């Protein structure tokens, strides 16, 4: 859009704002769609109208948005901002979100991301976004529910359903958006999913902080016994008592008639799964392996076995620190029948130890096997065992020969071979044993 066109749209918005008090009530409300691509703006505006027929959309480029006054911004019920997260512009993609939230904090900002990921979602929410959507996968029904929740609570709102249920039967915001209702939390977005549980980006209503909330449904699940629930509570209490820089803080946990839930500190920098999409230097690989090994020392010392150690369960901080998460499933026995139903996208089959595949409950040496797979992947730039089917991957874990490391890193071969031994008795007995062996091969440099 040309500068003249931007000014023209801004003038229209200004006129609307100046007439806002004197204008009669009308059936429609206005939101603002912002992006530099006019076609993309119009497509999103059309999607909004499909989701909420009483909501109309104005359209502006980024520069046109900058020309709006605070009063003009407040004339809109929401700003729908399309953000390019992979565009190499040199500027921070979420800076516009922060600036909008600072100028008009009462106006909800909905971010529609192109090429975003979990880390981008967290950054956008932290910057002040009221909701976040990958633009290629917006569900109209979910968008409608989100808009109803965000925009339908004002004094002059027409977005409410004409036939309201009684106050006692009114759904919570989470239920309205099709999300579980966990007391004390506002669930904002699903960020991970496995066969047993779902992790949501959520806001704690008491502490006003963002958390990663893991929720497991137990209603109608006879496989989750009272003993399982008691064990879950005991292990959450143990995890709450651990204090280590590489173990996620447990903020809260609980059991309702419908769910088990565990709230952990949230890490906006994302997980090691994203980090491993790019080459890892030897120094970084050693740093990460030492940190994971140190965390396992503490966890195993408390009598807890992780049982699902994989890159997506290892978070990164902005100072290159790794933090283990997802201990809520640490007691879930991942028997072969469950593994055969696992989605390869969860990553678990690539990092599981042979004894788990056979249906045995692993001890701490199972976690060390998973660490061995991760360490190999960091050193070699590839997984040791892959295949087109789960059976191929499992056969590799049970019988496959570990491929050699690149020549430049061959000195780590003995350590990798012992970590990935098929027989648990041939592995390091403890994380301390692994760390001592690593220190012999590559002594840690003073910080």
The catalytic residue positions are 308
Number of helical (H) and strand (E) elements in the chain, helices listed first: 18, 12
CA proximity to 61, closest of 3, 146, 147, 142: 3
Residues 58, 12: contact at Cβ < 8 Å?
A: yes
**Residue 32 vs residues 76, 144, 146: alpha-carbon distances, Å:** 6, 16, 16
CA proximity to 177, closest of 132, 219, 236, 232: 132
Torsion sign (Cα): 313, 231, 431, 317: positive
| Alpha helix ranges (H) inside 36-191 | 38-51, 62-66, 70-74, 95-103, 118-127, 140-151, 173-176
Dihedral pair phi/psi, residue 287, rounded to 5°: -60, -50
End-to-end CA distance of the chain: 52
Give, to the nearest 10 degrees, the angle between helix 140-151 and helix 38-51: 80
Query: What is the bridge-based pairing of β-strands 322-324 and 198-204?
Result: unpaired
The rounded distance, in Å, linking the Cα atoms of 175 and 145 is 9
SS3 assignment, position 160: coil
Residues 267, 245: contact at Cβ < 8 Å?
A: no
């Amino acid at each position: 859009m040309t500068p003249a066109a931007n000014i023209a749209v801004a003038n229209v918005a200004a006129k609307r704002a100046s007439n806002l008090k004197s204008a009669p009530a009308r059936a429609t409300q206005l939101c603002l769609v912002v992006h530099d691509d006019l076609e993309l703006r119009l497509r999103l505006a059309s999607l909004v109208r499909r989701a909420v027929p009483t909501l109309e959309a104005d359209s502006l480029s980024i520069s046109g948005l900058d020309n709006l006054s605070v009063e003009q911004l407040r004339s809109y019920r929401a700003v729908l901002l399309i953000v390019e997260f992979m565009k190499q512009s040199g500027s921070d993609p979420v800076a516009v979100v922060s600036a909008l939230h600072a100028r008009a904090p009462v106006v909800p900002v909905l971010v529609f991301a192109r090429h975003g990921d979990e880390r981008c979602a967290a950054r956008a929410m932290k910057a002040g976004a009221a909701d976040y959507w990958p633009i290629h996968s917006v569900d109209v029904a979910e968008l409608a529910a989100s808009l109803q929740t965000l925009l339908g609570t004002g004094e002059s709102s027409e977005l409410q359903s004409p036939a309201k249920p009684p106050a006692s039967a009114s759904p919570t915001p989470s239920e309205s958006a099709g999300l579980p209702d966990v007391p004390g939390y506002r669930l904002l977005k699903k960020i991970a999913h496995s066969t047993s549980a779902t992790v949501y980006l959520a806001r704690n209503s008491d502490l006003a902080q963002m958390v990663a909330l893991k929720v497991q449904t137990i209603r109608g699940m006879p496989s989750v016994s009272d003993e399982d629930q008691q064990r879950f509570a005991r292990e959450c209490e143990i995890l709450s008592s651990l204090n280590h820089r590489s173990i996620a803080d447990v903020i809260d946990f609980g059991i309702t008639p419908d769910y088990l839930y565990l709230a952990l500190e949230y890490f906006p920098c994302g997980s090691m799964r994203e980090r491993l999409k790019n080459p890892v230097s030897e120094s970084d690989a050693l740093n990460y392996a030492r940190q994971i090994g140190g965390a396992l020392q503490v966890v195993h010392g408390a009598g807890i076995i992780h049982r699902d150690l994989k890159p997506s369960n290892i978070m990164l901080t902005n100072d290159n620190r790794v933090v283990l998460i997802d201990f809520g499933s640490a007691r879930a026995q991942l028997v072969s029948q469950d593994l055969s139903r696992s989605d390869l996208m969860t990553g678990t089959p690539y990092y599981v130890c042979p004894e788990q595949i056979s249906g045995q409950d692993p001890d701490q040496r199972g976690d060390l096997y998973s660490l061995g797979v991760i360490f190999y992947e960091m050193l070699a730039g590839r997984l040791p065992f892959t295949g087109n089917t789960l059976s191929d991957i499992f056969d590799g874990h049970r019988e496959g020969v570990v491929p050699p490391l690149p020549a430049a890193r061959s000195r780590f071969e003995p350590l990798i071979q012992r970590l990935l031994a098929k027989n648990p008795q041939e592995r390091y007995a403890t994380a301390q044993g692994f760390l001592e062996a690593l220190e012999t091969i590559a002594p840690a440099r003073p910080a």
